[in-house]
Amino acid sequence: AAINEAYDAGFLGKNACGSGYDYDIYVHRGAGAYICGEETSLIESLEGKAGKPRLKPPFPADVGVFGCPTTVNNVETIAAAPTSADAGAPGSPASVGIAIAGTKLFNISGHVNNPCTVEEEMSNHGMKVQLIRARQRRWRHWRLGQPVEEEMSITMKADRVTPVVIGLGLGIPSWDCANPDGLRLAGSGSDCSGIVANPPQDCRTAALIVMNKQADVVKCIARLMDFYKHESCGQCTPCREGTGWMMRLTNRFVTGDARPEEIDLLWEVSKQIEGHTICALGDGAAWPAQGLIRHFRPELERRMAEFAAKNSTKTGSSSLQPLLVGTELKKRVLSR
């Protein structure tokens, strides 16, 4: 509808805006593959190929759709471009020492009083305004709208590619989705070591899923692992094989039918995936698993202990074979 209105107004089509240039927009709908959110995978799909990411370089700006230079952006980025252009160089965020500026749409869902999408400025000031509004509405957990009678357990960014963070007991006064540095300090950004080292670009979709203590966090993460196993394009071995391992491990963690040492195995597998794939889907699959271990290891151990006691065994009835690495793997291969 918006495109049709633009054509009717003369903003698009022949002699767009009286510029002497023709400018047309075509909408090509994909089949919904998650991997096609990656820019080169999107280009491959647009060309009629399997949606698999390309090695870079060359970057799309040099070799894109059908070998032509291509710019790939989200609609939100394009919508913000005119405002950035109007501000000019003197008023740019970098020139005034602001790491990230402007507004962004924040989507809040899950166990909240009022699931909504709001536009807020990307600064602590904006979040302080929201905090005041929340207090006026007597929300216990400010803009998240968590009911007073229930405590919030975790918050997960709804793009599902970052670790979970625990409630508001993070010891970080500025923690919020509009403060990327705060998210990284909380262990939910691309730098999960707790050190602010990367550019502040980790708000991603700026969407939050809130879960209270009644939610089964382990089951939620296991469901995510199922999702990533299904959506992996299979091009990179660490992602193709690693997502399957993480799916099987986390699914057994749900019932407790696992050995305690498999928690460390899950961590090791996630680390072997992280940073070893062509695109970021492997990283996105690894981070929720790492967040689960970082914040909920006691819960995993409790489930395993209860399962072992219930079945009169010490280690459960796990059927997954230990991961063979190094010399043990070499011995197994040579013995065949």
Which architecture does CATH list for 2-75? Answer: 3-Layer(aba) Sandwich (3.40)
Instruction: Give start and end residues of each alpha helix (H) in 256-280.
Output: 261-273
CA separation (Å) from 307 to 56, 161, 247, 261, 297? Answer: 47, 30, 19, 15, 16
Same fold, 2-75 and 103-212: no
How many CB atoms neighbour CB 45 within 10 A?
18
In the block, which residue shows the tokens 């949606």?
51
Cα–Cα distance, 197 to 215 (Å, whole number): 33
Q: What is the pTM of this model?
A: 0.73
Which architecture does CATH list for 103-212? Answer: Roll (3.10)
Instruction: Tell me if residue 105 falls in helix, strand or coil.
Output: strand
Is the peptide bond preceding residue 58 cis, with omega within 30 degrees of 0?
yes
Cα–Cα distance, 9 to 1 (Å, whole number): 12
Cα–Cα distance, 167 to 165 (Å, whole number): 7
Closest CA to 143 of 110, 172, 166: 110
Per CATH, domain 217-317 is 1.20.120.160: no
Instruction: Tell me if residue 102 falls in helix, strand or coil.
Output: coil
What is the per-residue pLDDT for 88? 61
**Angle at alpha carbon of residue 272, lines to 271 and 276, rounded to 5°:** 110
Cα–Cα distance, 226 to 231 (Å, whole number): 9
Measured over all CA atoms, what is the biggest interatomic distance in the chain, rounded to whole angstroms?
81
Query: Which letter, b or e, does each residue of 255-275 get, where b requires 16 or more Cβ atoms within 10 Å of its Cβ?
Result: ebbbbeebbebbbebbebbbe
**pLDDT tens track of the chain, all 336 residues?**
889 999 999 999 999 999 999 999 999 988 889 999 999 999 999 999 999 999 999 999 999 999 999 999 988 888 878 877 777 655 445 444 444 567 778 777 887 777 888 887 765 544 444 444 444 343 333 333 344 344 445 555 544 445 665 544 333 333 344 444 444 444 444 333 222 222 233 556 777 787 878 889 999 999 999 999 999 999 999 999 999 999 999 999 999 999 999 999 999 999 999 999 999 999 999 999 999 999 899 999 999 999 999 986 555 444 545 555 555 544 554 554
Q: Name the residue ranges covered by the structural domains of the chain.
A: 2-75, 103-212, 217-317
